[in-house]
Amino acid sequence: MRMLVDVDVPDLQKGINFYCSAFDLHLNRILDSDVAELVGGSSTIYLLQKVEGSTCARTSSDIRKYSRHWTPVHVDFVVDDLDEAVKRVLDAGAVRETECIDWRGSACITFSDPFGNGFCLIAFENATYNDENA
């Protein structure tokens, strides 16, 4: 199985600039003038230009908002150097939301992108979360 990540943004060029700067991704192509394909990580990220206030799904009355919002699904970016990654995302325009949380061999900090989408930077001591009971 292969995973793709879709992120709604109100301004495609601003989204491209942020995600390429923050995560060292590269624009691979633009599709139909409103979808950008970014490569360079373990998953391809698609930025989908969607108008603020538009409906999210035919079966929902929710509308897109680009202020900080909560969603049960978000992207974690695993990094080797947390301090360097923090500087990079802040310089690109991210908003830091938490202090560093250490848990089971990981260090995690929560941010939001310029459009209100939450994400985390995580650095692991090993390949993944330590579990002394495994």
> Is residue 75 in a domain?
yes
- Kindly report the CATH number assigned to the domain that includes residue 105: 3.10.180.10
> Is residue 73 in a domain?
yes
Residue 94's contacts (CB-CB under 8 Å, 6 or more residues apart) are: 18, 22, 111, 112, 113, 114, 119
Contact (CB, 8 A) for 45 and 3: no
> Is residue 129 in a domain?
no
| Domain coverage including residue 59 | 4-124
> Is residue 133 in a domain?
no
> Is residue 132 in a domain?
no
> Is residue 68 in a domain?
yes
> Is residue 131 in a domain?
no
User: Structure pTM?
Assistant: 0.90
For 28, phi then psi, to 5°, come to -90, -45
Each residue's pLDDT expressed in tens, for the chain with a length of 134 residues:
899 999 999 999 999 999 999 999 999 999 999 999 999 999 999 999 999 999 988 898 889 999 998 888 899 999 999 999 999 999 999 999 999 999 989 999 999 999 999 999 999 988 888 766 54
Residue 79 corresponds to which amino acid? V
How many structural domains is the chain composed of?
1
**Tokens 């950008």 -> residue:** 36
